[in-house]
A and B are shown apart, each in its own frame.
Chain A
Amino acid sequence: MLFNTPQFFAFLAVVLILFYCAPRSWRRIILLAASYFFYMSWIPKFILLLLTLTVIDYAAARWIARTESPRSRKVALIVSLSANLGLLGFFKYYNFFAANIAHLLDKPENTYAHSIILPLGISFHTFQSMSYVIDVYRREQKPIVNPIDYALFISFFPQLVAGPIVRAREFFADLYHWHAPNSEEVLRGLLLVILGLAKKMVMADQFAQVANTYFKDVTGHPGLLTAWSGVVAFGIQIYFDFSGYTDMAIGMALLLGFHFPVNFRRPYLASSITDFWHRWHMSLSRWLRDYLYIPLGGNRNGRLMTYRNLMLTMLLGGLWHGASWNFVVWGGYHGALLSIERMFGLKRAPEENRWTLLYPLRAILAFALAMFGWVFFRAVNFHDSIYVLDQMFSGQIGSMFLMRWQIDLALITLVLALLEEKLAWFEKLAVGPAWAYGAVCALLLLSVELLGYTEAAVPFVYFQF
């Protein structure tokens, strides 16, 4: 059940009606039942996996909190992390490692391969549950007593399959001090759901047609302009796909009285790659910082160790996205860029310098660097990645893959994003005049009607991660 289908909106309507009509004591159960129904609408048997991890992590956290013995605490933590990483590793990385071992042993790539279906959202809910158990271990989070509450934290349907990765203390603060959303939150929630739908169907799915055609056969489409249009199309696709999903998730959560963290803040307006990572998939960046980069030592042990930690964090972050060397290279590429920027003091542009003459140049450079990274992310294999990068700098012009209306749409979106960056006009809509809110929502809905890709419901890109 994808967010961009009529079935999902019918499901959401039913959940909202049941949620608000039911006595308060039933509401958590309604949300949990709805979340499990949502999860099981994909492949029902995987609910056992979700339940197993829920039970293990719930029990491990309780055990950690109950005992004072450092050894027992550590054992419980290791059991929990092993369960999460073990299942994640098996489902997501088994075939990757099997193929590499086969390659090392000079055997056919699929010698040890098995047909494994990746359970929906496993990368997200395992990270969320690991952060909870680690926080309990660090005594930063009290263990949750009610198993229904904990199960809801892991399976809450708006963010179950692709985030944002919510911290336990944020979620339970909302759950235990729940209040009905006020009018501003309702309006903001509705606006975000509509905006997310428009981002997905109008931008992501339409540009995906270009990116898919190009990356399906890169050697069949030579030329500089062709390569750039294919890569930029994918850059637009993945941003609007993921941020569209996140907007819908945040909007739906708001309608249910929950407050998710912001996950994207116009990353293609970043003035450096460091700035980019402060704006892109912010909940993952925060997770990697708090549970990987800082435990590795962060920037506390000198410059070389800082670069090493950055590289390790980004390499693992890359691998988190998918079981392929391409993702590792993508992570390593970003790790290297972050290290270089740190080395030369080129991190984020100070806010007060944002609108200087230098900013456009820095933003264009950061955008181009991000695009080069997407080549590794999207290309079918490493060989294709190198070919695409070569074409992006080759002498042949090639042909423009993007249609005129797509270029116009991208430029309009850029202008709107710049205005939002400067004036935060979109943020103010929910409290602005009714006509402005109505006009923007109507325009977004019209864009879905007229420009949205509706040949088929296209799955969200991050569902596969």
Chain B
Amino acid sequence: MSTVRNPIPAFRRYISSLAPNSVKVFPRILATLVFFAAFEGAVFHTRLYSSIIEPDSTAGAMETQLNNELKRPKPDRNQVLAVGHSRMALLPRIADDMKPSTGYRFASVGIGGTTVRCWYYELRELDPHANRYSAIIIPSDDYNEPDSYENLNDRDLDTRYLIARLKLGDLTEYPQSFDDYKLKWVTFGDILFKGYVYKRDFLDFLSHPEERIAKASLNDRDSHGWYYDYVGPEHSVDGLVIDWQHNIAHYPASFTPEQRKLIEDVLFGPKPRDAGVLTQYLRRWYGRIIDYYRGSGTKLIFLRVPRAPQPPPEHPPKLNSAIRQIASEPDVVVLDEHLFDQLERTDLFADPMHLNGEGMNRFSRILATEVQRVLGPPKS
């Protein structure tokens, strides 16, 4: 490395030193990128890998529900779809039993652990032209939308649910919906390199390929029936007495320490001061759903799910909550928040958050009747 006396600009010298090499180097680097992109694209950016994904995983649960709903025959537009999380207690079979009186068929893609952001992307997949459903039912935990310690904007679990459905076109928008700067980049990479997100599932598949394929195929064939015939849990928290004033619960002797802890964590856990973070989040994603269906004729029906095994104390309404603000939008119906208060009973709850089978049954009947009331008679 002797000193060069002729002061040619460094960059020009660098380019000229590369020139003889570039003939052979760049085609090989290009070939590497093409092969990589081709494999990644063919396997993970199509339905190929998601068709054998573990059905009990987050992405697997999402795929199962979406595929079942996509395959379900929809002879007309008199279809009502419920999205939501595990507290969306609609049992489509019960609601469908009322079809002679309501005129509508019901379906639910409620998936435990999902959030409103997920629901937007679910609807985009299930209803690409916004013309398949008469109504979409969307649950809310509380119309006052109090903040929790989790910032839903930065819930990276959403990506795990949605990974099979996120497209390269989402690269510009989906990562931007995260607040955390690092998460934006991580999510960007996740959408680009989906194989990385599927890693655990892929390793598990390699460990038991035959069993996985058999399980995925059984799930694909029969899971619609499993979900449709689901009747909910039989047990209840009957005997539980909640003292909301002192945040104390009195348990029947049959309650295990784990059940007691769960109840205390869920009902009496610490809550942060409400800074409107959740409201801001909901405003964004409710807004996206409303915009998606704007002018389509599909009604968006929002409801408050039964909150607890005993009615919690009422707080003054937060007038600027997202749900109260969207209530005035065309084709948006916000159901009376007290519609399901009658189900806030210990004999109708399986745990501190979820209705049991009987509770779900009653919920489905009330909801089907209410939907019929809102939508009016079905269109022929």
Which A residues are within 8 Å of any B CB, using their own CB? 20-25, 27-28, 175-176, 178, 180-184, 186-187, 190, 403-405, 408, 434-435, 437-439, 441-443, 445-446, 449-452, 454
CA gap between A440 and B32 in the complex, in Å: 8
**Nearest residue, chain A, Cβ from B4:** A24
What residues of B have a CB within 8 angstroms of the CB of A190 in the complex?
A: 29
**B39: CB under 8 A from chain A?**
yes
CA gap between A435 and B2 in the complex, in Å: 38
**Nearest residue, chain A, Cβ from B8:** A23
In the complex, chain B residues 5-61 whose Cβ is within 8 Å of any chain A Cβ: 7, 10-11, 14, 17, 20-25, 27-36, 39-40
CA gap between A95 and B348 in the complex, in Å: 66
CA gap between A434 and B26 in the complex, in Å: 9
CA gap between A450 and B203 in the complex, in Å: 8
Partner of B28, one of A22, A180, A182, A437: A437
How many of chain B's residues have a CB under 8 angstroms from any CB in A? 37
Partner of B40, one of A186, A404, A446, A452: A446
User: Can you give 29 contacting A-B residue pairs, CB < 8 Å?
Assistant: A20-B14, A22-B10, A24-B3, A24-B4, A25-B4, A27-B1, A178-B1, A180-B17, A182-B20, A182-B21, A183-B21, A183-B22, A184-B24, A403-B203, A403-B207, A408-B206, A434-B30, A435-B31, A437-B28, A438-B31, A438-B34, A441-B31, A442-B32, A442-B33, A442-B39, A443-B35, A445-B36, A450-B203, A454-B196
Instruction: Output the least CB separation between B57 and chain A (Å).
Output: 16
What residues of B have a CB within 8 angstroms of the CB of A449 in the complex?
A: 40, 193, 195-196, 199
Secondary structure dominating the interface of B? helix
> With A186-B21, A445-B32, A454-B199 in contact, is A405–B11 under 8 Å at CB?
no
CA gap between A437 and B36 in the complex, in Å: 12
| CB–CB B4/A446 < 8 A | no
CA gap between A367 and B184 in the complex, in Å: 47
What residues of B have a CB within 8 angstroms of the CB of A181 in the complex?
A: 21
Which B residues are within 8 Å of any A CB, using their own CB? 1-4, 7, 10-11, 14, 17, 20-25, 27-36, 39-40, 193, 195-196, 198-199, 202-203, 206-208
What residues of A have a CB within 8 angstroms of the CB of B195 in the complex?
A: 446, 449-450
CA gap between A439 and B3 in the complex, in Å: 40
Instruction: Output the least CB separation between B303 and chain A (Å).
Output: 40
What residues of B have a CB within 8 angstroms of the CB of A443 in the complex?
A: 35
> With A20-B14, A449-B196, A454-B196 in contact, is A25–B20 under 8 Å at CB?
no
> With A22-B10, A178-B1 in contact, is A437–B32 under 8 Å at CB?
yes
Secondary structure dominating the interface of A? helix
> With A178-B1, A187-B28, A449-B195 in contact, is A404–B208 under 8 Å at CB?
yes
| CB–CB A186/B17 < 8 A | no
| CB–CB A434/B28 < 8 A | yes
> With A25-B4, A27-B1, A450-B195 in contact, is A404–B206 under 8 Å at CB?
yes
CA gap between A262 and B54 in the complex, in Å: 43
**Nearest residue, chain B, Cβ from A190:** B29
| CB–CB A24/B31 < 8 A | no
> With A21-B10, A441-B32 in contact, is A405–B25 under 8 Å at CB?
no
| CB–CB B208/A183 < 8 A | no
